[in-house]
Amino acid sequence: AKNKQTNKQTKNTSQKVFHSHVMVATNGSCCSSSSNAFGSSTVPSGSGTFENMHHLHRGDDAECSGSPAKRCRLRRRTESVRKHRPPFPWFGMDIGGTLVKLVYFEPVDITAEEEQEEVENLKSIRRYLTSNVAYGKTGVRDVHLELRNLTMCGRTGNLHFIRFPTQAMPRFIQMGRDKNFSSLHTTLCATGGGAYKFENEFRMMADLELLKLDELDCLIRGLLFVDRVGFNGHPECYYFQNPSDTQSCVKKPCTLDNPFPMLLVNIGSGVSILAVYSENNYKRVTGTSLGGGTFLGLCCLLTGCETFEEALEMASKGDSTNVDKLVKDIYGGDYERFGLQGSAVASSFGHMMSKEKRDSISKEDLARATLVTITNNIGSIARMCAVNEKIERVVFVGNFLRINTVSTKLLAYAMDYWSKGQLRALFLEHEGYFGAVGALMELLKTTEDP
């Protein structure tokens, strides 16, 4: 394959043509433009005309007398467009290689009239999602991440964060069909590779059209949005103070007041590294295939564990120095000629070249070594990119960092130590959800584009 993973493709999200797919559109300004902060609701101008609608939805015209579901769909959409916002429910979805991230906006300002008008299956979706914290065997709502009393597109509500394995995608689509989701929307905003991979299945099985969005665009937009609105009154962002000292290393909240430029390191199954200069101006600097998927994959093979949580749990109890060969294992101490500390890892898994050591090693040690190896490597590549791009702020996101303080602290340490304090590692509370948030914002934005 002659591809260009490192291709520094500077691009401008605003110039992109995804909107040509959008079925829901209106003229004039809307609740928010991308430069305005969300939450400041704009008074609807009411200038949307049906002419436009006819033009845009020619395909539906003939169906006005069609099925009840479709009639209902059109009516609701028309109403919503009149108010310059998409009809409920509001979802943003990010279908990654390992995990599907779903954000759901639950309106809490529903008027009695609205409640009455609300169709039954919309109600049931809302109740199902908000009254449970687990869905099926593998779906989880991260309750602790919920953003409460958020104003989006003139509406107030709570933003819920839900994840489930990508493997469960067929069942999710099935559920969409069972709940007759297509009666509510024709368009579901989705990003991540799965938006492309599962597009046909959504269409065929659930009669749903996906609005496919670029994952990096969504990531940046979602990240900047969540950072702006904050985490229920607290900063979304944090860093580690004294990263080089395990005793006094503490997590400190901070804000990304002036976030640009930043090096954004997104650690999902694989890793993408972006240099971000503004909301719409960024480039993908490089990526690596050694990411969260590698950690979990290797852990599964080496220890027989099955979940990320299990792998992390084991790693937290292990000691990687039983697995890795350190500088001092080779040189007896520091390698002074090159300023390498004796405690630095010289060879990841280097001790495992010895049969005796392989026979005596614990699963916990192996899990820890895998975690440390992958984390250090990401840190090392990120640091090099930061130096090459002359960016001092390195923001790490992605679900690999979920409940993973070993890695966050290690990254903070690595950035600080190897750059002699020049670089600072920053982390965000909603680690892996920014893509989904970005997708949701695109849904809300679709109504504002002329």
Partner 1 sequence: MAECGRVDSNTSHTMDKSITLPPDEIFRNLENAKRFAIDIGGSLTKLAYYSTVQHKVAKVRSFDHTAKAAAGDKLYEISMQEEVTARLHFIKFENAYIETCLDFIKDHLVNTETKVIKATGGGAHKFKELIERKLGLKVDKEDEMTCLIKGCNFVLKNIPHEAFVYAKHADSEFRFQTTNPDIFPYLLVNIGSGVSIVKVESEDKFERIGGSSIGGGTFWGLGALLTKTKRFDELLQLASKGQHASVDMLVKDIYGGSYGYLGLTGDLIASSFGKSATADKDFSKEDMAKSLLHMISNDIGQLACLYAKLHNLSRVYFGGFFIRGHPVTMHTITYSINFFTKGEVQALFLRHEGYLGTIGAFLKGAEEDNPNQYSWGENYAGSSGLMSVSPDMNPMQRARSGTFPFDMLEMDRLERQLVNLPLLQDPSSYIPDTVDLTEDALAREYWLYCFEEALDGVVKRAVASQPDMPEAALRAEKFRQKYRHKLQTLRQQPFAYGSLTVRSLLDTREHCLNEFNFPDPYSKIKQRENDIALKYYQKAVKSLDELSWEEKQFALVQGVLAGNVFDWGAKAVSDVLESDPEFGFEEAKRQLEERPWLVDSYDQWLERLKGPPHKCALFFVDNSGVDIILGVMPFVRELLSRGTEVVLASNSGPALNDVTNGELQILTERIAAMDPVIEAGLREDRLLLVQSGSSSPCLDLSRLDKVLAMVVRERQTDLVIIEGMGRAIHTNYYAMLSCESLKMAVIKNSWLADRLGGKLFSVVFKYEVPAGKPNKDCGAFSPS
Q: Scan residues 272-301 and list those touching partner 1 (CB under 8 A).
A: 284, 286, 288-294, 296-301
Cα–Cα dist 37/314, whole Å = 43
Query: Should residue 4 be labelled a site residue for partner 1 when binding is judged by CB under 8 A?
Result: yes
Contacts of 192 (CB under 8 A, 6+ apart): 93, 94, 95, 96, 100, 101, 215, 435
Q: Is 12 in the site for partner 1 (CB under 8 A)?
A: no
Nearer to partner 1, 32 or 286 (CB): 286
Residue 323 CB contacts under 8 Å (≥ 6 apart), including other chains: 348, 349, 351, 352, 361, 365, 366, 368, 369
Nearest alpha carbon to residue 435 among 304, 274, 266, 285:
266
Angle at 175 between CA 157 and CA 431, to 5 degrees: 50
Q: Tokens standing for 125?
A: 């979706």
User: Interface residues for partner 1 in 378-397 (CB under 8 A)?
Assistant: 380-381, 384-385, 387-388
The reply on whether position 398 binds partner 1 by CB under 8 A is no
Site string for partner 1, 335-354 (x = CB under 8 A): --xx-x---xxxxxxxxxxx
Mark 81-120 with x for binding to partner 1 (rule: CB under 8 A) and - for no binding.
Answer: ---------------xxx----------------------
Q: With contacts defined by CB under 8 A, how many residues of the chain interact with partner 1?
A: 75
Q: Is 309 in the site for partner 1 (CB under 8 A)?
A: no
Which residues, at least 6 apart from 155, have a Cβ–Cβ distance to it below 8 Å? 41, 85, 105, 107, 109
- Taking CB under 8 A as the binding criterion, the range among 77-85, 223-231, 237-245, 263-271 that sits at the site for partner 1 is 263-271
Q: Which CB sits closer to partner 1, 8 or 55?
A: 8
| 411 near partner 1, rule: CB under 8 A | no
Site for partner 1 contains 314 (CB under 8 A)? no
Q: Which of 167, 244, 278, 341 binds partner 1 (CB under 8 A)?
A: 167
The strand pair at 209-213 and 424-428 is best described as unpaired
Name the catalytic one among 215, 429, 431, 448.
Answer: 215
Site string for partner 1, 48-87 (x = CB under 8 A): ----------------------------------------
Q: Indicate which single residue of 48, 87, 107, 192 sits in contact with partner 1 (rule: CB under 8 A).
A: 192
118 is catalytic: no
Interface residue with partner 1 among 276, 327, 391, 428 (CB under 8 A) is 327
Q: Which of 253, 254, 276, 251 is nearest to 263 (CA)?
A: 276
State yes or no: residue 1 binds partner 1 (CB under 8 A).
yes
For the record, the structure tokens of 393 come out as 């702020």
Instruction: Decide: is 166 part of the binding site for partner 1 (CB under 8 A).
Output: yes
Pairing of strands 281-288, 271-278: antiparallel
Query: Rounded to an integer, what is the distance from CA 83 to the centroid of its chain?
Result: 29
DSSP string, 56-116: HTHHHHGGGGS-HHHHHHHHHHHHHHHTTSPPSPEEEEEE-SSEEEEEEEEES---HHHHH
Name the residue with tokens 């590779």: 193
Contact status: 137 vs partner 1 (CB under 8 A): no
Binding status of residue 189 toward partner 1 by CB under 8 A: no
Q: Which residues pair with 345 in a beta bridge?
A: 326
Among 19, 197, 251, 317, indicate the residue that binds partner 1 (CB under 8 A): 197
- Residues near 5 by Cβ (< 8 Å), separated by ≥ 6? 286, 287
373 counts as binding partner 1 under rule CB under 8 A = yes
| Positions marked catalytic | 215
